[in-house]
Amino acid sequence: MANRPKPDAPPPRTRPGGRSARVRSSVLAAAVEELAAVGYASFSVEGVAERAGVHKTTVYRRWRNRENLLLEAMLERGREQVPIPDTGSLRSDLLAYGKAIAAGVRTPEVEAGVRAIASIGDPDSPLAKASHAFWDARLDLARRIVEQAIARGEIAPGVDARVVVEAIIAPIYFRLLLSGGKLDRRFLERLADFAAAAARSGSS
Amino acid sequence: MANRPKPDAPPPRTRPGGRSARVRSSVLAAAVEELAAVGYASFSVEGVAERAGVHKTTVYRRWRNRENLLLEAMLERGREQVPIPDTGSLRSDLLAYGKAIAAGVRTPEVEAGVRAIASIGDPDSPLAKASHAFWDARLDLARRIVEQAIARGEIAPGVDARVVVEAIIAPIYFRLLLSGGKLDRRFLERLADFAAAAARSGSS
DNA sequence: GACAAACGCAACTTGTTGTCGTGTTAAGTT
DNA sequence: AACTTAACACGACAACAAGTTGCGTTTGTC
Nearest to A49 by CA among A38, A59, A36: A59
Q: Do A203 and B180 touch (CB under 8 A)?
A: no
- Residue B17: CB atoms within 10 A of its CB come to 8
Q: Which of residues 15-74 of B have CB within 7 Å of strand C?
A: 15-20, 43-47, 56-57, 60, 64-66
Nearest to B100 by CA among B120, B76, B72, B80: B80
Band the pLDDT of B76: cuts 50, 70, 90: confident
B4 sits within 7 Å of strand C by its CB = no
Mean pLDDT of A168-172: 98
pLDDT surpassing 80 at residue A202: no
Q: What are phi and psi of B13, to 5 degrees?
A: -75, 120
Q: Do B119 and A118 touch (CB under 8 A)?
A: yes
DSSP state at residue A194:
H
Q: Which residues, at least 6 apart from B97, have a Cβ–Cβ distance to it below 8 Å?
A: B82, B84, B85, B142, B145, B165, B168
Q: Do B173 and A171 touch (CB under 8 A)?
A: no
pTM of the predicted protein model: 0.91
- B62 CA, C30 C1': Å apart: 29
Mean pLDDT of A110-125: 93
Spell out which residues of chain A touch residue B181, defining contact as CB-CB under 8 Å.
Answer: 135
A19 sits within 7 Å of strand C by its CB = yes
Which has the minimum average pLDDT: A20-29, B49-58, B75-84, B128-137?
A: B75-84
| A203 to chain B, closest Cα gap in Å | 6
Indicate the burial class of A164 (C-beta count within 10 angstroms; 0-12, 13-18, 19 or more).
Answer: buried
- A9 CA, C2 C1': Å apart: 21
For nucleotide C8, give the residue with the nearest CA to its C1': A55
pLDDT surpassing 90 at residue B80: no
pLDDT surpassing 80 at residue B2: no
Helix A66-77 to helix A126-151 angle, to the nearest 10 degrees?
20
A77 sits within 7 Å of strand D by its CB = no
Q: Which residues, at least 6 apart from A115, have a Cβ–Cβ distance to it below 8 Å?
A: A39, A40, A177, B118, B119, B120, B121
Which nucleotide in the DNA or RNA is closest to residue A18, CA to C1'?
D28
The model's pLDDT over B88-147, given as tens digits with 9 standing for 90+, comes to: 999 999 999 999 999 999 999 999 999 999 999 989 888 899 999 999 999 999 999 999
Q: What are phi and psi of A85, to 5 degrees?
A: -75, 160
CB B149 within 8 A of CB B90: yes
CB-defined contacts A:B, below 8 A: 145
Band the pLDDT of A109: cuts 50, 70, 90: very high
- pLDDT score for B7: 41
pLDDT surpassing 50 at residue A160: yes
- pLDDT score for B111: 94
Band the pLDDT of B58: cuts 50, 70, 90: very high
Mean pLDDT of A108-124: 93
Band the pLDDT of B41: cuts 50, 70, 90: confident
Q: Which of A121, A132, A163 sits opposite B179 (nearest CB)?
A: A132
Mean pLDDT of A20-39: 93
- A193 CA, D10 C1': Å apart: 63
Distances (CA, A) of B97 to A161, B85, B90, B157: 23, 7, 10, 21
Spell out which residues of chain A touch residue B132, defining contact as CB-CB under 8 Å.
Answer: 179-180
pLDDT surpassing 90 at residue A54: yes
Distance from the Cα of residue B112 to its chain's centroid: 11
- pLDDT score for B64: 86
Which has the minimum average pLDDT: A18-22, A84-88, A107-111?
A: A18-22
Q: How far apart are CA B15 and CA B80, in angstroms?
A: 28
| CA atoms lying within 13 Å on the CB side of residue A103 | 9
DSSP chain B: ----SSTTS-------STHHHHHHHHHHHHHHHHHHHHTTTT--HHHHHHHHT--HHHHHHHSSSHHHHHHHHHHHHTTPPPPPP--SSHHHHHHHHHHHHHHHHHSHHHHHHHHHHHT---TTSHHHHHHHHHHHHHHHHHHHHHHHHHHTTSS-TT--HHHHHHHHHHHHHHIIIII-----HHHHHHHHHHHHHHHHTT--
User: What's the CA angle centered on B157, arms B154 and B158, to 5 degrees?
Assistant: 140
- pLDDT score for A4: 40
Q: Which residues, at least 6 apart from B75, have a Cβ–Cβ distance to it below 8 Å?
A: B130
Mean pLDDT of A148-171: 96
Band the pLDDT of A96: cuts 50, 70, 90: very high
Q: Which residues, at least 6 apart from B24, have a Cβ–Cβ distance to it below 8 Å?
A: B62
Which has the minimum average pLDDT: A10-14, A168-172, B116-120, B191-195?
A: A10-14
Distance from the Cα of residue A154 to its chain's centroid: 30
Q: Do B117 and A203 touch (CB under 8 A)?
A: no
Q: Do A118 and B118 touch (CB under 8 A)?
A: yes
Indicate the burial class of A194 (C-beta count within 10 angstroms; 0-12, 13-18, 19 or more).
Answer: buried
Nearest to A116 by CA among A26, A41, A11, A28: A41
Q: Do A201 and B197 touch (CB under 8 A)?
A: yes
Q: Do B135 and A178 touch (CB under 8 A)?
A: yes
Interface test with A, best of B110, B114, B155, B203 (most A CBs within 10 A): B203
- pLDDT score for A12: 62
Q: Whats the size of chain A, residue-wise?
A: 204
Per the model's pLDDT, the better-predicted residue between A78 and A102 turns out to be A102
Q: What are phi and psi of B116, to 5 degrees?
A: -60, -45
Q: Protein footprint on strand C: which nucleotides are under 7 Å from a CB?
A: 4-11, 15-21, 26-29
Q: Protein footprint on strand D: which nucleotides are under 7 Å from a CB?
A: 5-12, 16-22, 27-30
Q: How far apart are CA A107 and CA A37, in angstroms?
A: 12
DSSP state at residue A83:
P
Nearest chain A residue to B114 by CA: give it. A178
